[in-house]
Amino acid sequence: MSSTETSLPPQLAKIVERFQRRCDPKQKYKQLLWYAQKLPPMSAASKTEANKVKGCVSQVYITAALADGKVQYQGDSDAQLVKGLVAFLIEGLNNLPPAEIAQIEPSFIEDTGLKVSLTPSRANGFFNIFHMMKQQALNLSLDTAKKPTSN
């Protein structure tokens, strides 16, 4: 277990560990495709330019909303492998408070061993998806902080 894993939220740490146990890149791909199949469908109305992840070769969309102080993500991609990356991040980050998501460093991506298995553009896309999700969490926490409290 790497030092970065110990600071990860439990669900994300569990997913990283799952990928670390798979030495064969084909097994890692199969795991990603399994995550892609589990991803709930995203409405066409949510697939807007504002929700599109920049810097991805594939079409990738992510939305974030706050429910009971925890971030709820939705996402989709037109490429199955990338959809698996989206699902991996959603499963690892959903239901966390925005402040906790904002503290997560992207080094866990290296810990999965996926960077070696992915093409450089997909590895970069994975980072961009994570960065957007982190930014959305930060925006949600800022929006919450700006709301006036009722007297």
Does an H or E element contain 71, and which?
strand 70-77
Cα dihedral sign, 75-79-117-38: positive
Residue pair 59/78 in contact by the 8 Å Cβ criterion: yes
pLDDT tens digits, one per residue of 95-119? 999 999 999 999 999 999 888 778 8
Containing structural domain, residue 35: 3-144
User: Would 75 be classed as within a structural domain?
Assistant: yes
User: Would 51 be classed as within a structural domain?
Assistant: yes
Catalytic residues: 56
pLDDT tens digits, one per residue of 117-146? 788 888 899 999 999 999 999 999 887 666
- Split into its structural domains, the chain has a count of 1
Torsion of CA 124, 142, 69, 110, to 10 degrees: 20
Distances (CA, A) of 52 to 4, 41, 55, 79, 96: 28, 16, 9, 14, 22
3-class DSSP assignment, residue 84: helix
**pLDDT score for 56:** 84
Confidence of residue 65 (pLDDT cuts 50, 70, 90): very high
Q: What is the CATH number of the domain that holds 101?
A: 3.90.1010.10
Confidence of residue 147 (pLDDT cuts 50, 70, 90): low
User: Would 38 be classed as within a structural domain?
Assistant: yes
User: Would 149 be classed as within a structural domain?
Assistant: no
User: Would 64 be classed as within a structural domain?
Assistant: yes
User: Would 150 be classed as within a structural domain?
Assistant: no
Alpha carbons 41 and 76: distance in angstroms, whole number: 7
pTM across the whole model: 0.90
pLDDT of residue 5 exceeding 50: no
Residue pair 56/46 in contact by the 8 Å Cβ criterion: no
Residue pair 71/137 in contact by the 8 Å Cβ criterion: yes
